[in-house]
Amino acid sequence: MTEDELSLWRRCRKGDEAARKELVLMHLRPVKFLADQIHRKVNWVDREVLMNEGVIGLLKAMDRFDYNCGVEFSTYARNDIRGAILASPEVSNNLPRRPYENLKKIRQAQVDLAMRLERKPTLDEIAEKIELTVSQVTEALDAWHIAFADGFPDHEAGSDSDPEADERSKTHSALIEGKAGADEPWQNVNDAIVIEKALSRLSERESLIVTRYYWEDQTDSEIAKGLGLTLSNARRIRLGALKKLHGMLE
Amino acid sequence: MKQSELEQKLKSAKFYHLTEDELLAYRDRELDEVGLSRAEAHLKLCLVCERGLALLREELAALENIEITAEDVALVERVMQEARSRRPVDSRLPEASGVPVSDRLAAYLRQLTDSLQAYFLAMTPVRDAVPPGQEIRSQPSDDGLVSVTITLEDTSDLTIHLSSSERGFAGQRVRVSLGTFSGEATLRRASEFEVAAKITVPEAQRPATLTSIKIETA
């Protein structure tokens, strides 16, 4: 944050309405962008209504923002702006269902194709599988990111709850359902954060070896070669790191 | 946790979809080494998140070309005027406007601490009150925005789970003091609609009564 903006925030907190207005105008571009983006999906709603709601969302975010917290306000305000626009009755009562229904098909197709092809499928491959055009697939994905960029609201039963399902099926379901191998909602949602945090507490070499092994699917031998280590040393470091992680995550 | 379970957890982490904040941080090259590694591993697998990233990149480029017009300024003035006329004039807790997030959270935590202490003063010792594995107390703030749930786990540890629908509290640190125990945690987004933090008081440090419990910002 620049010194000028910081000064505006300080004045705004003291009740200076001119500073508040200046801050609103400074951060109005994302509101216009989101209002236009959503307007393209619900073009029968007056664009000014969307702008109006977006500015209300921006003002709410400003009221809650702590300018000392080290987060950019533009990042902080995104969900409030989008949420305010989408929550307006003109929008929420009239959102088309088709892109959302298509998205469910896309997600399933991604799982099926990834399993069969053993790689990420392309847009063309997904479109062909679910008998939509590429532009319909893109439209569904875009609608999804515009409306629900921060999470998947539906929690359908996935194959990862089936004890008979094999390992690959579990992980690919997780790719779509966003809930791999967790026991309860609390752990489920925070797993990635907790694991990233624990990994950050390992030494640089340890976290590099762990992420290469578990996320980049390298073998101990490939890791050893890449880092100039002996095979036994790479394996020893990985297992030592696992032991440390075990202690942290317990 | 067995080693195989830990390994499964590690493997699974790359399949979790990236949040919009993570995609933004990836786009802006602000992820640390571990976050970057997970993001890249996931983006190699997921068309949905890849498209989300592409949209965020398009947005960044589009923002530069958006102009603020006189009509925009007039709309902002009108909305601000309406918002001013709707602001609450009285509240037991600090109004959102003009009060730093940490101060608002501190006020809620004081209210929760007072309520919990009053409740536990009138209660028999925890050890005799509930069997392990059960909730001891769930206490919401007066307006329901923040709540705390205290559970006696099967392990006989005590967990204190703080949650709020106020997403602006994400990133705030909270401290729980109880007898000789003191622990801290960060409120993190638990879902699209909730932030939460969990602190565990080990059995060895758990006092017989919870009257000394104090929850505050750290």
DSSP string for residues in B133-147: TEEEEEEE-TTSSEE
Query: Is A185-249 a domain of CATH 3.60.10.10?
Result: no
Q: Which domain holds residue B107?
A: 101-217
Mutant choice from A16, A26, A100, A199 vs B, greatest count of B C-beta within 10 A:
A199
Query: Is A98-149+159-177 a domain of CATH 1.10.3470?
Result: no
B74 token code pair? 């007039």
Q: Which position has the higher pLDDT, A114 or A27?
A: A27
Q: A3-92: what fold? A: Rna Polymerase Sigma Factor; Chain: A (1.10.1740)
The answer on pLDDT for A166 being more than 50 is no
Residue A190's pLDDT is 63
> Which CATH number does the domain housing residue B170 bear?
2.60.40
> A196 vs chain B: nearest CA distance in angstroms?
6
Same domain, B209 and B122: yes
pLDDT band (50, 70, 90) for residue A93: low
Backbone angles phi, psi at B189, to 5 degrees: -70, 120
Same domain, B110 and B206: yes
B55 part of a folded domain: yes
B73 part of a folded domain: no
Q: Which residues contact A147 (CB under 8 A, 6 or more apart)?
A: A38, A41, A82, A86, A95
Q: Which residues contact A6 (CB under 8 A, 6 or more apart)?
A: A67
Q: What is the mean pLDDT of chain A?
A: 77
B16 part of a folded domain: yes
Number of domains in chain B: 2
**Is B19 in contact with A65 (Cβ distance < 8 A)?**
no
Tell me which chain B residues have a C-beta less than 8 angstroms from the C-beta of A178.
Answer: 15-17
Window A:73-132, CB contacts with B under 8 Å: 75-76, 78-79, 106-107, 110, 114, 120-123, 126
> A244 vs chain B: nearest CA distance in angstroms?
11
B88 part of a folded domain: no
Tell me which chain A residues have a C-beta less than 8 angstroms from the C-beta of B37.
Answer: 207, 211, 215-216
Q: Which of A6, A121, A154 is nearest to A68 (CA)?
A: A6
Question: What is the C-alpha separation between B177 and B169, in angstroms, rounded?
Answer: 20
pLDDT band (50, 70, 90) for residue A162: very low
Same domain, B116 and B166: yes
Q: Name the closest residue on chain B to residue A198, using Cα atoms.
A: B34
- Determine contact: A136 vs chain B, CB below 8 A: no
